[in-house]
Structure 1
């Protein structure tokens, strides 16, 4: 796997390059701003992008803007966004095209190397990965009517879906069978009014509905 990193913190970007290299992931380029990210993606055609939400010059939302721009220019390009804090509006924007291949993790997650690399690989494989802390804050914030219709177990399943886990992994975490997980996910899709076709796409839409409920 080859990635491009957009991060203005030199220590963090160097640390990312080192830990990814140890996991067999090549860092094709490290850039520090939005124009640099757009140019690096066009030049290197990476398998995935890792970008800080806030980049120079204003340190507001340049990173997420660049991520959205490169997703439009290169549809489906996997993007993993890193943030210092939970910023739910950015998480929603990242998922807005419903394509998958996106992730939103807090920077603290980088120190948990196995979790971070696993999340990156899930995103590169077309999955959707949301930081558990983002999900926890969304859960605490309450939901909309469709989300309110879910049972406690269905909410647990949707929470793990939002973290990028597959059916077998969800079953292991919740100590239930694959068939039970499949049934709960079917109920979630039905209650959220999602289409019957394309299970992978529906998983992204379910997570997006979850984000939009808070």
Structure 2
């Protein structure tokens, strides 16, 4: 399988070329920046690309943005991203774009040659490989996520007025909107706070308790 590599460090780039070649792949081009990488992908249409997250000129997100472009333009090309640290946003965005033929590894894993080659083969075969540390941090963030963060500004206003004990009619008057609009916002609040209708619980009270817990913390 042909591989295009993008890594700005000449030393690491040469080392990766050697490792990837020893793994049975053919590195057709090794690029020092995102622009030349995208040109190489267009030229060779490889089966697999290996990309550093941070690339010149700003060393922020050039590499991952280039990787996402490859996934959009060439759906059959597998993508393995390497990063010095866990970049949760980038890892989530990469996997969310298409959860097959994709990998996100910390560069420390490259030191374990067998694991690195196994990851290359898994991703190139259409599998998904995520560094254990990436998985740990993503799961931790999911557990700690506050459902109130899902609400729109308008829904937050409505919930704040609900916490003051106001009826839908009073909320409508306060926000200069119709009662129907208030009802839609209230329904959206219940959905986003994972409060399905039950015979045992009062969803309006539970939603207000969520709000009061947040305001107490802040």
TM-score by length of 2: 0.63
Q: Which aligned pairs between 1:1-214 and structure 2 lie closer than 5 A?
A: 1-143=1-143
Q: CA deviation at 1:32?
A: 1.2
Aligned to 2:211: none
Q: Which runs of 4+ in 1 moved over 4 A?
A: none
- Segments of 5+ residues of structure 1 without an aligned counterpart are 146-214
- Segments of 5+ residues of structure 2 without an aligned counterpart are 147-218
Query: Aligned to 1:133, what secondary structure does the other structure show?
Result: helix
TM-score by length of 1: 0.65
Question: Is the 2:99–2:128 Cα contact (8 Å) retained in structure 1?
Answer: no
What is the aligned length? 146
Q: CA deviation at 1:137?
A: 2.2
Q: CA deviation at 1:41?
A: 0.5
Q: CA deviation at 1:133?
A: 1.0
Q: CA deviation at 1:104?
A: 0.3
Question: Is the 1:55–1:62 Cα contact (8 Å) retained in structure 2?
Answer: yes
Distance in 1 (CA, whole Å) between partners of 2:141 and 2:94 is: 20
More RCO (CA 8 Å, sep 6+): 1
RMSD: 1.7
The structure with the largest alpha-carbon Rg is 2
